Every structure is written in structure tokens, then in C-alpha cells.
Amino acid sequence: MEIIPEPEWERLIKELIAHKGTAMLMGATDSGKSTLARYLIRNLVSKNSVTSFVDSDIGQSSLGLPGTISMKIFKTAKDIEDFDAEKIFFMGFLNPAKNISLMIDGTKKMVNSARKDTELILVDTTGLINGEHGKALKMGKIRAITPQHIIAVQRYNELEHILTMIEGITIHRIEASRMVKGRSRESRVRYRKERFDEYFDNTKVAEFLLDGVHFFYNGKPLMPKEADFKKGTLIGLNHDEDTMALGILLELYHTSIIFKSPIKSVRGMNRVVLGDINLYE
């Protein structure tokens, strides 16, 4: 995909190389945050700046799967060609307003993981910016990950109600690219389906049984009832809090679950996170 840069993007690259740290991208839906993030990653790596990318746009993730917060470290051009997540944190839903505290916790977890190996981290966020939910989500993430930079991508000052609350952080105001095109709800749904179809390719998946596992939903433990979660429910397969892979629920019996997934083994998996996303509906 060819990306035509705006003039101010080059200045932003120089600032990030000079000062490093964590940079959080904010912008409304269809503002071009993900396009800018890809451009920054490619050019930072080309200038020998190892860069981590945390994608917390759970509805339209460009790095991981929908319903997840994902992370990858980019060191070479080959890493950019293979634009897939190294680590994921399964949320189980697509609307960030459903559980703002879990959104914040998941983003913080991925950023902390990236900080172990890199000094320069880009964090993409959802397009939820309006109302109390938008303000709470963005300010909560800022407090949790303490970024050194805010990259505010906007057209009509739509982020200023949040930006005026920020102190002690360098704010880079970037005008949304004129090349960005809005996407319809249908195209967003189609994009998510394509990502899941690719991950759960029938030539790669197998059926598994897990017994005696702990179940979680919306960030909390529970004892699930079969009637509460239908066949086709998307699940996270975890070792403690770390999501190792995703699966599709087939059958559920008290503390046992049958599912299909592209994983090779269930060894070490002791927690199943049940979601709200159903791939059969």
C-alpha cells in the first residue's frame, strides 16, 4: 500500500528519533491514525530506530485481530512486510466503551511489555473521542502509560476538549490527511470477517478439549452456563493473563470446553476468556 506523506510527517519523525519515548496517537474514526502509524514505523526502522507498535484500536486493528490489543517490535524491513502481532491481549468485544478500565489495563500491559526491549513505542487508539466515555478512555490511557508524546490527528479541533486537559507532555498536532477516505459500516464488518477467516482458515485449525480451566468474561472470573455462550463465540486462550491464541467455542460443560483453533497444543493454557463476538452469526 502506497502512503503519500503530509509535509509535517517528516518533522514528526525527526522529533521521535531525537527524543524517543512512548507516543500515543489520537484521532476520530477515519482520521488516518493507522496510516500515519504505518508510515512512521516504516521510516523510523529505515533510519535504524527499533520501534514497537501497540495497536489498541480493537474494532479495526491493523496489527492484531479485532477484539484484541496487540504488540510487535519492528527492527527490519522484513518485520514490516510481516505486519502481524507478536503478542495479543484478548478483550472479547469491539466497542471500547463496554469496559474502559479493561481497555486501559490491556494497553498498559502491552506497552510495559514493549518497554522491556525498545525505547521508541507508538500506541494507536480507537476513534472513541467524544463524550465522557471518550474523555475517560483517552485520559485513563495517558495516566496509565505516561507517554512522552501525544500525536493528535484532527480536522476541526475535535480533540481539543481532551488536549487542553493534558500537562507535561509534548503534543504534536497533525492535520488529518486529505487522502484519507471514510469507510462504511459494511466495509468495517467485512474487514473484520476477512481477518477472522484468515486466522481460522479451515486448513489450519483443529478441535481441542480443555478440562478444569478457569473462565473469565469482561475482565472477571465466572462459572459459565452453556446457554449464556453460543456455539461460535470467540474465546481467548490464556496462560494466566497472557493470551496465547484465539479459538471458537463449540461446546461448553461447566469447567470443560471444546473449541477449534489454529494452535498446535493446549499445554500451559489454564484460562479461557469468553467474549461477546460470535463468528457464526
CATH number at residue 99: 3.40.50.300
Question: Does 152 lie in the same domain as 115?
Answer: yes
Question: Does 45 lie in the same domain as 165?
Answer: yes
Written as tens digits, the pLDDT of the chain (281 aa) is 556 667 788 999 999 999 999 999 999 988 889 889 999 999 999 999 999 999 999 999 999 999 999 999 999 999 999 999 999 999 999 999 999 999 999 999 999 999 999 999 999 999 999 999 999 999 999 999 999 999 999 988 999 999 999 999 999 999 987 777 778 889 999 999 999 999 999 889 999 999 989 999 999 999 887 668 999 999 999 999 999 999 999 999 878 899 999 999 999 999 999 999 999 98
Question: Does 251 lie in the same domain as 122?
Answer: no
What's the sign of the alpha-carbon dihedral 38, 147, 125, 78? Answer: positive
The CATH number that applies at residue 255 is 2.40.30.330
Query: Whose CA is closest to 142, among 158, 154, 155, 159?
Result: 159
Whole domain around residue 233: which residue ranges? 200-278
Q: What are phi and psi of 34, to 5 degrees?
A: -65, -40
In a domain, 191, yes or no: no
Question: Does 210 lie in the same domain as 152?
Answer: no
**Whole-angstrom Cα distance, residue 251 to residue 54?**
33
Q: Where are the alpha helices (DSSP H) in 172-281?
A: 185-199
Query: b/e map of 228-252 (b: 16 or more CB within 10 Å)?
Result: ebebebbbbbbeeebbbbbbbbeeb
Question: Does 148 lie in the same domain as 69?
Answer: yes
Question: Does 178 lie in the same domain as 83?
Answer: yes
Q: Specify the pTM.
A: 0.94
Question: Does 234 lie in the same domain as 124?
Answer: no
Angle at 104 between CA 177 and CA 130, to 5 degrees: 50
In a domain, 2, yes or no: no
